[in-house]
Structure 1
Amino acid sequence: MNLSPRQSQLLELVRTHGTLGIDRLAETLNVTLQTVRRDVTALAEAQLLQRYHGGVRVPSSTTENLAYQQRQALNAAGKQRLARAVAQAIPNHCSLLINLGTTTEAIAHELRQHQGLRVITNNLQVARTLAGAPGCEVIVAGGVMRPHDFGIVGETTVDFIRQFRVDIGLIGISGIEADGSLRDFDLREVKVAQALIEHSRQVWLAADHSKFNRPAMVELARLEQVDRLFTDAPPPAPFDTLLQDAGIDVVVA
């Protein structure tokens, strides 16, 4: 497909943010809704974008996640904002369980000045980030290491997590669907995250706006199991209503 300059700009906006509403695209590009819809239709037919009700997102699979480097770059500014908000809400002298994901890795960077933290994690990137922090003790779960992102998964990891009961379980997620389910791609990773939820007094979910309406194959949990959600933009419909009905404290960075 030969892209016009406007279509190229539209595509780059969606790739940067992960998901965008049609109204937001029209406002940003300073064109009519009809023009945006026409461009989106053409880009979707070329399989460069994926449509959902009210917006578009980068093409995704329900069975395979984006490459680790792509996930690191996707909406990096938004992840950094919400990472700061999470770190500001975490008190000194508490215990944390932290799972896999580039968002939780960003949060770990913001926790390096905290005092008296005890962090249990199956994420070697998180462990490496916090290893040199003088106010933090890091406990690393055993199990099978995934070479592409240095995540530790498997039954051994689940058994390890079940030994603890922490103040806050901090989880990232691949997708939140409109039925209120939190979803991911790797069943082994999901099993570890479910153990983390079960053994945390409070569950905090860190998810930038690109995770809303993003499909993934395996159900990890339901929104009702989350106490606080940290995100970088106001959740779109119907998630605003779902979050309110679930009584979740939503923090928009």
Structure 2
Amino acid sequence: MAQTFRHPEILEIARQRGKVVVEDLAAHFEVTVQTIRRDLAELAEAGKLERVHGGAILASGVANIGYEERRTLHTEAKAEIARRCARDIPENCSVFINIGTSTEAVARELLYHRNLMVVTNNMNVANILAGNPNCEVIVAGGTLRRSDGGLVGNLTVDTIRQFKFDLAVIGCSGLDEDGDMLDYDIQEVNVSRTILNQSRRAFLVSDHSKFQRSAPARIGPISELDALYTNKPLPGALAQKCIEWDVDVILPEPEMHAASGKAAR
């Protein structure tokens, strides 16, 4: 079957099942797994699918990808972003770290920072930083979301409002060309908005896959950030917004730093 005929059917199977598996598609189309991997790579490049271990999933929608599945996505990129972000988090400061696999990666990079106070609504972050004896960890109250260890709801918001953080490190589910940070869960969005309101500075950690993803709930514009840490240059419209809004765009390698309205770090 010609490749152009396979692509629509692959997308339809992904819509029906939520995920496609390389070996299953190879058997279905009677082609090699290498051929299917090329198909999935091209569909991912077009923003129609997102590659995961052993297959692919739909790139966006009204429901987020499962948390354990997200942990397997872009792990190297997240680690690079986290290392670069952690370099800009000083010791002797208060930090809020919210829900997400990218923010968990930042927490791992803070295990040797000294004299930190970290407040989080992410049980995974709290467990990671429990390994740093020089870090005071405060867990925000709220309703436990078992799917990802997140704490959300009015109690979480009320707890956050008791603080004024030196710095917030947040994640999001998508970034659109209008410059808006997006998410799937309105309760999580309310928490993220409160975090931004209660922080003197704010960093967003987001790998390049978020540039191609949409989500229904709006956190706010990236103009509310001081810096966006990512692993690839932003698309043109989004890059222009960062310049106009004076938001640093910081890539892992110093020579790849994107243009910014602020002085380079």
Q: TM-score by structure 2 length?
A: 0.78
1:95 aligned partner: 94
1:210 aligned partner: 209
Separation in 1, partners of 2:39, 2:226 = 35
Separation in 2, partners of 1:14, 1:74 = 17
- Per-residue deviation, 1:233: 1.0
| Alignment check: 8 A CA contact 2:78 2:105 kept | yes
- Per-residue deviation, 1:185: 0.4
1:107 maps to amino acid:
V
1:122 maps to amino acid:
N
2:221 aligned partner: 222
- Within a 5 Å distance, the mapping from 1:26-37 to structure 2 comes to none
| Contiguous gaps of at least 5 residues in structure 2 | 1-5, 7-28, 51-55, 253-265
Change (3 A) 1:66 1:132: same
Separation in 1, partners of 2:215, 2:97 = 21
| Alignment check: 8 A CA contact 1:161 1:196 kept | yes
Change (3 A) 1:144 1:8: same
- Per-residue deviation, 1:158: 0.3
Separation in 1, partners of 2:60, 2:72 = 18
2:53 aligned partner: none
Output one character per residue of 1:87-129: Cα deviation in whole Å (capped at 9) or x when no partner.
Answer: 1111111110111000000110010000000000000000000
Change (3 A) 1:130 1:238: same
1:184 aligned partner: 183
2:3 aligned partner: none
- Within a 5 Å distance, the mapping from 1:64-213 to structure 2 comes to 64-213=63-212
Change (3 A) 1:152 1:14: farther
Q: Work out which structure has the larger RCO, using CA pairs closer than 8 Å and 6 or more positions apart in sequence.
A: 1
1:8 maps to amino acid:
I
2:254 matches 1:241? no
- Per-residue deviation, 1:243: 1.3
2:164 maps to amino acid:
R
- Per-residue deviation, 1:60: 3.3
Separation in 2, partners of 1:80, 1:220 = 24
Separation in 2, partners of 1:110, 1:204 = 15
Separation in 2, partners of 1:21, 1:251 = 25
2:14 aligned partner: none
Identity, in percent, stands at 39
| Residue among 21, 37, 45 paired with 1:9 | 37
| Contiguous gaps of at least 5 residues in structure 1 | 23-43, 51-56
Change (3 A) 1:6 1:101: same
- Per-residue deviation, 1:62: 2.9
1:10 maps to amino acid:
R
- Per-residue deviation, 1:180: 1.1
1:189 maps to amino acid:
E
- Per-residue deviation, 1:12: 5.0
2:144 maps to amino acid:
M
RMSD over equivalenced CA pairs, Å? 2.0
Output one character per residue of 1:111-161: Cα deviation in whole Å (capped at 9) or x when no partner.
Answer: 000000000000000000001201100000011000111100000000000
- Per-residue deviation, 1:4: 5.7
SS of residue matched to 1:65: coil
2:45 aligned partner: 20
Change (3 A) 1:111 1:9: same
2:38 maps to amino acid:
L
SS of residue matched to 2:45: strand
